[in-house]
Amino acid sequence: MQNLENKTALITGGSKGIGFGIAAALMAQGMNVAITSRSQKGADEAAAELNKSGKGKALGIKADVRNFESQQKAVDTVLKKWGTLDLFVANAGVGFFASIEDMTLDQWHETIDTNLTGVFYSLKAGLDGLKASKGYFISISSLAGTNFFVNGSAYNASKFGVTGFTQAAMLDLRQHGIRATTIMPGSVATYFNNHKPNETDAWKIQIEDIGQMVVDLMQMNPRTLLSKIEVRPSMPA
């Protein structure tokens, strides 16, 4: 089992939801974690909350995955502060759900630019750091990345893309000693799509469950790679 203490992670969209859950789980193992948000206030507040309990340290960074220079700046900030990038989690995502008749051009572009191009920008920006550490790249896709549904044209396209991109990138990156995995959750109790988690979400996957999964991946012997993981509630409502 790999010791994670003092290793460093960068998580996009880490101020709440799945990203926050992953950050908390990694910090409990002694990792230092930078979380990004489009809002500096949101990133700082989440980092302050994480720093109350984790053994590692948390840092909030304002960054927008739709902008490559913003992603590069976030990576540079992590490397300057901690000197290494051992894990990059491309988690930031949005969702607009409407028929193709009603989907606006702006909604389409925001979905693709955030959910798909943002994952490419994240990996591209972090590549040199991950090469140096022989680190890990994890993208958060979705079961919507293999199962299409009504009113899901933009979201399905983005998540099918993330799944395919990460699997192809995994083959490219192995030669550098970098592992890559895409995690494809079903229903998770998060703030996604303006939902507020509550007691009726008890049947759903919880953010700490995804966090534990990332810890397990990081602790696995580097000779073995779980490259694609589908995860769903065991007892759906």
Query: Can you tell me whether residue 178 is helix, strand or coil?
Result: coil
In the predicted structure, residue 36 carries a pLDDT above the cut 70:
yes
Give the mean model confidence (pLDDT) for residues 123-132: 98
In the predicted structure, residue 189 carries a pLDDT above the cut 80:
no
Which residue segments constitute the domains of the chain, with CATH numbers given?
Answer: 8-231 (3.40.50.720)
Q: What is the DSSP string of the chain?
A: ----TT-EEEETTTTSHHHHHHHHHHHHTT-EEEEEES-HHHHHHHHHHHTTT-SS-EEEEE--TT-HHHHHHHHHHHHHHHS---EEEE---------TTT--HHHHHHHHIIIIIHHHHHHHHHHHHHHHHT-EEEEE--GGGT---TT-HHHHHHHHHHHHHHHHHHHHHGGGT-EEEEEEESSB-SSGGG----GGGTTSBPHHHHHHHHHHHHHS-TT----EEEE--SS--
Give the mean model confidence (pLDDT) for residues 134-143: 97
* Of 138 and 198, more confident: 138
% of the chain residues with pLDDT over 90? 87
Supply the pLDDT for residue 194: 67
Give the mean model confidence (pLDDT) for residues 135-145: 96
In the predicted structure, residue 11 carries a pLDDT above the cut 90:
yes
Average confidence score pLDDT of the chain: 95
For 195-208, what is each residue's pLDDT tens digit?
677 888 888 889 99
Supply the pLDDT for residue 191: 66
Closest C-alpha among 164, 88, 165, 93 to residue 127: 88
Angle, CA of 111, 116 and 120, to the nearest 5°: 145
In the predicted structure, residue 33 carries a pLDDT above the cut 90:
yes
For 73-125, what is each residue's pLDDT tens digit?
999 999 999 999 999 999 999 999 999 999 999 999 999 999 999 999 999 99
Supply the pLDDT for residue 193: 63
Residues 6+ apart with CB under 8 A from 211: 21, 22, 23, 24, 25, 26
The length of the chain is 237
Supply the pLDDT for residue 188: 87
Give the mean model confidence (pLDDT) for residues 162-188: 96
- Of 121, 136, 155, 191, catalytic: 155
Distance CA 113, CA 162 (A): 11
Supply the pLDDT for residue 51: 96
Closest C-alpha among 81, 78, 166, 173 to residue 131: 173
For 50-84, what is each residue's pLDDT tens digit?
999 878 999 999 999 999 999 999 999 999 999 99
Q: Is 155 a catalytic residue?
A: yes
If one counts every other C-beta atom within 10 angstroms of the C-beta of residue 13, the result is 24
In the predicted structure, residue 178 carries a pLDDT above the cut 90:
yes
